[in-house]
Amino acid sequence: MARLPRLDLPGIPQHVVQRGNDRQACFATNVDYGQYLQELGEAALKHDCAVHAFVLMTNHVHLLVTPSGTGAISRMMQAVGRRYVGSFNARCQRTGTLWEGRFKAALIDSERYLMACYRYIELNPVRAGMTIMPGDYPWSSYAHNAWGKQHPLITPHQEYLNLGSDPAARQTAYRELIRELLDEPQLIALRQHTQQQRAWGSDRFRQQIEALTQRAVSVRPRGRPPKPPETLEK
């Protein structure tokens, strides 16, 4: 059965996840992390994608991105992959694929869900036990969003700008927001929606996306659907 295309609408943020093949490392040295961010910045600019938040983990990547047009994120990720993978393989004297198939992406409602996605991304190193404070991890957008350290990759989303009337106020509000850890239902919901490439948000948001795409956008329950009563075995 052919795969359905991703839910992909201009102007709506997406939580993008790309994992290393077989969960193997896709970054080995600081040079790797630095090159990936450089390639991502150039590709985002070329394909008109606004990157709001990111974290580069050892074997996977999380991004929060708003595309200007349909297919823009796919083109951006393809461009990064073409340039980065060849260089990484050469440095590590390896061959073959680096990524675990296609990246996953979920549409994100740009109200409270979007700011939860910011937090989910930048708190990844804390949840993984790699650091105690998100600011201690160098390969994320936290320093930019929480402390104003300039990063050429980042374009603030309007919901982030709404946190305060000036940069200092926004950064203070964001640091307070980050201190509120996501609860388990939120973590599970975002992971499920991203894995199944659905739309994470309010009922109204999901209804709007379904009307625009003519597709179901809610997560599917695990396992096969039950048989109709008349076909159940006795």
Note the pLDDT tens digit of each residue in 30-64. Answer: 999 999 999 999 999 999 999 999 999 999 999 99
**171 located within any domain:** yes
Domain count, the chain: 1
For 63: left if phi > 0, alpha if psi spans -120 to 50, otherwise beta; the answer is: beta
Q: Which of the four pLDDT bands, split at 50, 70 and 90, describes residue 5?
A: confident
Q: Could you tell me the CATH number of the domain that includes residue 77?
A: 3.30.70.1290
- Overall average pLDDT of the 179-187 stretch: 89
Confidence (pLDDT) at 222: 62
3-class SS at 78?
Answer: helix
- At 233 the pLDDT is 37
Predicted confidence at residue 44, as pLDDT, reads 98
pLDDT at site 40: 98
Query: Which residue shows structure tokens 């609860």?
Result: 183
Residue 9 has pLDDT above 90, yes or no: yes
Helix, strand, coil % in the chain, rounded to nearest 5: 45, 15, 40
In a domain, 4, yes or no: no
In this structure, is residue 8 part of a structural domain? no
Mean pLDDT of the chain: 91
Domain ranges, residue 188: 14-213
The number of CA neighbours under 13 Å toward the Cβ of 39 is: 20
At 31 the pLDDT is: 96
- Is residue 222, in this structure, part of any structural domain at all? no
pLDDT at 29: 95
- Coil/strand/helix, residue 69: coil
DSSP 3-state of 37: helix
Residue 145 inside a domain? The answer is: yes
Mean pLDDT of 204-212: 93
Question: If pLDDT is split at 50, 70 and 90, which confidence band does 4 have?
Answer: low
The predicted-structure confidence for 157-170, as pLDDT tens digits, reads as follows: 999 999 999 999 99
pLDDT at 229 over 60: no
What percentage of the chain has pLDDT greater than the value 90? 78
In a domain? residue 181: yes
Is the pLDDT at 1 greater than 50? The verdict is no
Mean pLDDT in residue range 172-192: 93
